[in-house]
Amino acid sequence: MMAFLLALGGLILFHEWGHYGVARLLGVKVLRFSVGFGRPLWKRRWGKDGTEWVIGMLPLGGFVRMLDEREGPVPAAELSRAFNRQSLWRRSAIVAAGPLANFMLAWILFSLLYMVGVPGLRPCLDEPAAGSLAAQAGLHAGQCVEQVAGRPIHSWQEFQTRWVDIQLKHLPFTILTRDQTQHTENHVIQISAMNAAALGDEALERMGLVPWNPPLPPIIGRVVPKSVAARAGFLQGDHILTLGGQSVSNWMQVVQLIENHPQSVLAVQVLRDGQVKEFTVIPQSVALPTGRSVGRIGVSPDFPADLRAKLWVTEQYSASQALWRGGEKTLMLTQMTFRTFWNMLSGQASWDNLGGPVRIASIAGESARLGLIPYLQFIALISLSLGVLNLLPIPLLDGGHLLYHALEWIRGKPLSPGFVNSAQQVGFVMLVILMGFSFYNDLQHFINH
């Protein structure tokens, strides 16, 4: 929960600071800067304008209240500093600054991560199942993915993201591969027979696209702190002998047994310091994008140094290259998020994809336990989502206010207060419905998993 509150509080602060900073830059007086809604838990006044800084009880958003004649009388000496007296472009700039701050934060975080180095699995293929779409396209073990639909691929995780992207854009699934002899080859996977809504790892697996997975001994290389495995008693270096009553001889057997038994009690035997230890573990149930639930416990295998170099790649750049790469990733993920929202609204994607604060809090905790890099990646993604959400043309959101400004520009005069009030009420109902869907999905996820 602490990881969630820190992430959400920071993102709200950054969003509202965008509004505040541009308002001050353009000479508009700010009366209150609030992170959170409801009864103030903390408040102070400072600055030459006496701005009130507040932390509210409900950390589900924030607001910047500016001087405005529509909300009360304004002294004649300060009329030029009232928000409603500003030109259309100035008001639009202040409104748009919040979402733009979220996009800027995502860009900064992605760029910093690329400077430090982002580890990932090499995008190399294992042998596809006979008769699979990948096999029909001529793909085979030993090939590494260089490009998908013309865009370079650096890791398996990026390959997965690019697959979702081309589905949203309805692009052909073309793959450029390079083998160990440096021979390159183009492949086209015919996905017309696939369920286009089945995005994520499972869809790739059903096509026969799985990462190269050399046989590894069932020895634990890392236990995620505070994970299911840590609570059960697993330690780094444990050699797993049996799991769920079945003998295991390689790591893939361990993965399959855990994935196939979510929320089931599995008896474990491990060899530790020459002695056999016995205990039980209950794999946590995790829902894949397709809705299928699999077990996870929070362990990874022990990789010999030579094999680690073949399996893993670190994507790291100079400062200028990292800024470019971070901007490229921010733009692609922003476009994907907008398309996902549009597909949900148009019925092309399921509303089950919409997660609420409960699921986001769960993901925040998991990413924080995995380490700083996954946690910062999570914050960058949520920042992007907040930016996109706030730009949706729904009254009460920033996008709704920008829609008002567009209508004002078309009409050549401000909208009537009655119209704006009615639109705000409609927007409130829309947001309640949106939040209702997200909470319902969280509840269903909690009940099912």
Q: Can you give the residue ranges of every domain in the chain? A: 93-117+319-449, 120-213, 220-303
Instruction: Give the confidence band of 1 by pLDDT, cuts at 50, 70, 90.
Output: low
Beta bridge partners of 40: 56
The two domains 120-213 and 220-303 share their CATH topology (first three levels equal): yes
pLDDT range class, residue 340, cuts 50, 70, 90: confident
Average pLDDT over residues 127-136: 90
Say which DSSP state 172 is in. Answer: -
Under 8 Å between Cβ of 185 and 138: yes
Please give the pLDDT value at position 444.
60
Residue 130 pLDDT > 60: yes
At residue 207, the 3 state secondary structure works out as coil
- What is the pLDDT confidence band of residue 362, given thresholds at 50, 70 and 90? low
Distances (CA, A) of 245 to 242, 280, 350: 6, 11, 39
Write out pLDDT tens, residues 86-112.
999 999 999 999 999 999 999 999 999
Q: Which residues are catalytic?
A: 16
278-283 long-range contacts, Cβ below 8 Å, gap at least 24?
Answer: 279/232, 279/233, 280/232, 281/228, 281/229, 281/232, 281/234, 282/228, 282/232, 283/228, 283/258, 283/259
At 242 the three-state DSSP class reads: strand
- In the predicted model, what is the mean pLDDT of residues 386-412? 91
Write b or e for each residue in 324-340: b if 16 or more Cβ atoms lie within 10 A of its Cβ, otherwise e.
ebbeebbeebbebbebb
Alpha-carbon distance 187 to 139, whole Å? 7
Query: pLDDT tens, 168-195?
Result: 788 888 999 999 889 999 999 877 645 4
Tell me what the mean pLDDT of segment 327-345 comes to.
Answer: 85
The fold for domain 120-213 equals Pdz3 Domain (2.30.42)
More confident call, 340 vs 52: 52
User: Do residues 56 and 29 lie in contact, with contact meaning Cβ atoms separated by under 8 Å?
Assistant: no
pLDDT band of residue 26 (cuts 50, 70, 90) is very high
Whether 153 and 159 have beta carbons less than 8 Å apart is answered as yes
Nearest residue to 210 via CA among 292, 302, 129: 129
220-303 homologous superfamily? PDZ domain (2.30.42.10)
The two tokens of residue 405 are 């400004």
Which of 404 and 3 is assigned the larger pLDDT? 404
8 Å CB contact between 160 and 173: no
> Does the pLDDT of residue 51 top 90, yes or no?
yes
Burial class (CB in 10 A: 0-12, 13-18, 19+), 434: middle
Report the alpha-carbon distance of residue 332 to residue 240 in Å, rounded. 41
pLDDT for 366 equals 62
CB 192 within 8 A of CB 155: no
Q: Give the least confident one: 153-162, 279-288, 308-317, 439-448.
A: 439-448
CA 361 to chain centroid, in Å, comes to 12
Q: Is the pTM of this model over 0.85?
A: no
Angle at CA 244, nearest 5°, toward 243 and 248?
Answer: 35
* Three-class DSSP category at 341: helix
List the end-to-end C-alpha distance of the chain, in Å, as a whole number.
19
Residues above pLDDT 70, as percent of the chain: 88
